[in-house]
Amino acid sequence: MPLRESYFEIERIVMETLQDMIRRTRGTCMTFTPKKIAKRAGLSTKPVTLSIVDHVLQTLSEKGLIQFYHKGWHGKKYIIHNTSPLWIKVKEGI
């Protein structure tokens, strides 16, 4: 993987990672942070990369695919429920 990924490459990687996490989830919802997504995807956890990951997650939140859950000491946390269109598509294998 190149040292410097483009925004669109990071966006694609984040989407693939999120979809993989949804596939593996056994419950009805899942919480995650930008750092958790970056680590799982094998991306750098440097602030600039985490900002891009967070921006991708904010965009998904604005589209109603995930929800902003909480901002605490460890940064932002997002949640996705089994009623989300993204969750449904991934679980149905579309």
Read off the pLDDT of each residue in 53-76 and give the average, rounded to a whole number.
92
Q: For the chain, report the end-to-end CA distance as a whole number of angstroms.
A: 27
Q: Quote the CA–CA distance of 16 and 9 in Å, as a whole number.
A: 11
Residue 46 CB neighbours (<10 A): 9
Is the CATH number of domain 7-92 3.30.390.30?
Answer: no
User: Residue 4 has what pLDDT?
Assistant: 59
pLDDT band at 74 (very low <50, low <70, confident <90, very high): confident
What is the per-residue pLDDT for 94? 58
pLDDT band, residue 93 (cuts 50/70/90):
confident
Say yes or no to pLDDT of 44 above 80.
Answer: yes
Does residue 1 have a pLDDT over 60? no
Dihedral sign from CA coordinates of 56, 57, 59, 64: positive
In the chain, % of residues over pLDDT 70: 94
- Is this structure's pTM higher than 0.75? yes
